[in-house]
């Protein structure tokens, strides 16, 4: 996949050592969690025992002004957490949890399921994978040798939090169509079946508003699932990395394809892929035909493009 942007063209913020430090001055930040909770502080005395009061929510990717960082206590609890003072474009003021926001930087989106690298990237130690479509914030002055410091909201076990790691620049897009369509897609998929009308409306909005989006095929797959059974493929030639075990089948079909082997890890050569995206257990990806080290079809959710 071609590089979507150049650092100098897309990014313009400062921050040599990662996320911009929050000070008493007004900065800016981006919300990295769907429906991030917005709080006020009841009877604010500036003490960590001051109680938070829920007043609303903020949208994924929303840009806000940021102020002081402090500690406060959850309602009906003694649990203390870090919160940041914010002001939205509409003028609403309040606090958000520090782990729900990245301060400074530039909004982007992951276009290839990618590995995070530890803060000390020279050790080449992997810090886990980041799913395609994840909204992230990058810091341009940290770019080096094709990597850039990135903050995203990702699960670790049952806990979600933001943290700075390095990521391949080629796995990120700063294209507005890609970012906004991914936000609409994630928002739609967070809705339950009762909210199907709203979900489909968001997916249709993403298709119509951002026809050139990197995620166009995924959105179509959710809105118009393939029911005719016709599988169209195209010849390709590139390498991918298996980062979790995948079943190898004789056909690109989870139901009718016979399991013939399993790949647990390593680099594989891809010779063919399905033209369309497919949905299996809520996960969207293409099927790929592996031609080395073994031959067969694998569902691509647990594969990463190798660059």
Say if 7-11+105-173 and 27-103 have the same CATH topology: yes
Indicate the pLDDT class of residue 158, thresholds 50, 70 and 90: very low
| Phi–psi pair at 254, nearest 5 degrees | -70, -20
pLDDT at position 127: 58
Q: Please say if the pLDDT value at position 17 is more than 80.
A: no
What is the per-residue pLDDT for 154?
63
In the CATH hierarchy, which fold is given to the domain comprising 233-305? SH3 type barrels. (2.30.30)
Taking residues 259-282, report their average pLDDT: 87
| The predicted structure's pLDDT at residue 1 | 34
With cut-offs at 50, 70 and 90, classify the pLDDT of residue 188: very high
> How many whole angstroms separate alpha carbon 119 and alpha carbon 154?
16
pLDDT of residue 162: 58
Whether 8 shows a pLDDT value over 70: the answer reads no
* Whether the predicted pLDDT of 26 surpasses 60: no
Predicted confidence at residue 19, as pLDDT, reads 35
Domain ranges of the chain: 7-11+105-173, 27-103, 176-223, 233-305
Of 285 and 40, which is predicted with more confidence? 40
List, for residues 59-83, the tens digit of each pLDDT value. Answer: 999 999 999 999 999 998 899 999 9
pLDDT given for residue 115 in this prediction: 67
Band of pLDDT at residue 160, cut at 50, 70 and 90? very low
User: Mean pLDDT score of the chain, rounded to an integer?
Assistant: 82
191-201 pLDDT tens trace: 887 898 999 99
Options 2.60.40, 1.10.10, 3.40.50, 2.30.30; CATH of 7-11+105-173: 2.30.30
What pLDDT, in 10s, does the model give residues 207-254? Answer: 999 999 999 988 988 888 765 667 888 998 888 888 778 999 998 888
| Alpha-carbon separation of residue 72 from 48, 49, 68, 82, 95 (angstroms) | 4, 6, 12, 7, 10
Looking at residue 227, its pLDDT comes to 59
Q: Return the closest-CA partner of residue 115 out of 1, 279, 241.
A: 241
Domain at 27-103: CATH code: 2.30.30
> Is the pLDDT at 159 greater than 60, yes or no?
no
Q: What is the 3-state secondary structure (H, E, C) of 169-211?
A: HHHEECCHHHHHHHHHHHHHHCCCHHHHHHHHHHHHHHHHHCC
From the list 172, 113, 170, 115, the residue with the least C-alpha distance to 138 is 172
Q: Give residue for tokens 């003490």.
A: 47
């Amino acid at each position: 996949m071609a590089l979507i942007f150049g650092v100098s063209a897309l990014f313009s913020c400062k921050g040599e050592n990662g996320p911009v430090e929050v000070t008493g001055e007004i900065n800016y930040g981006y919300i990295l969690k769907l429906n991030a909770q917005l709080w006020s502080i009841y009877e604010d005395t500036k003490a960590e025992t001051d109680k938070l009061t829920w007043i609303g929510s903020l949208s994924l990717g929303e840009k806000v002004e940021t102020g002081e960082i402090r500690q406060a206590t959850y309602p009906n609890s003694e649990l203390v957490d870090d919160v940041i003072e914010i002001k939205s474009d509409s003028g609403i003021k309040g606090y958000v949890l520090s782990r729900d926001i990245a301060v400074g930087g530039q909004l982007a989106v992951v276009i290839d399921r990618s590995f995070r690298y530890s803060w000390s990237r020279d050790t080449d130690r992997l810090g886990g994978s980041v799913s395609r479509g994840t909204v992230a914030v990058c810091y341009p002055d940290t770019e080096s040798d094709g990597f850039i410091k990135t903050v995203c909201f990702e699960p670790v076990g049952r806990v979600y939090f933001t943290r700075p790691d390095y990521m391949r620049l080629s796995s990120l897009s700063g294209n507005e169509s890609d970012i906004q369509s991914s936000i609409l897609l994630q928002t739609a998929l967070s809705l339950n079946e009762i909210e199907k009308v709203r979900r489909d409306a968001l997916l249709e909005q993403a298709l119509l508003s951002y026809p050139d989006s990197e995620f166009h095929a995924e959105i179509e797959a959710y809105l118009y699932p393939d029911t005719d059974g016709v599988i169209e493929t195209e010849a390709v030639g590139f390498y991918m990395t298996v980062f979790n075990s995948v079943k190898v089948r004789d056909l690109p079909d989870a139901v009718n394809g016979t399991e013939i082997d399993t790949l647990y890890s390593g680099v594989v050569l891809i010779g063919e892929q399905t033209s369309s995206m497919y949905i299996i257990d809520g996960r969207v990806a293409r099927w790929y035909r592996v031609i080395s080290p073994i031959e067969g079809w694998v569902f691509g959710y647990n594969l990463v493009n190798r660059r």
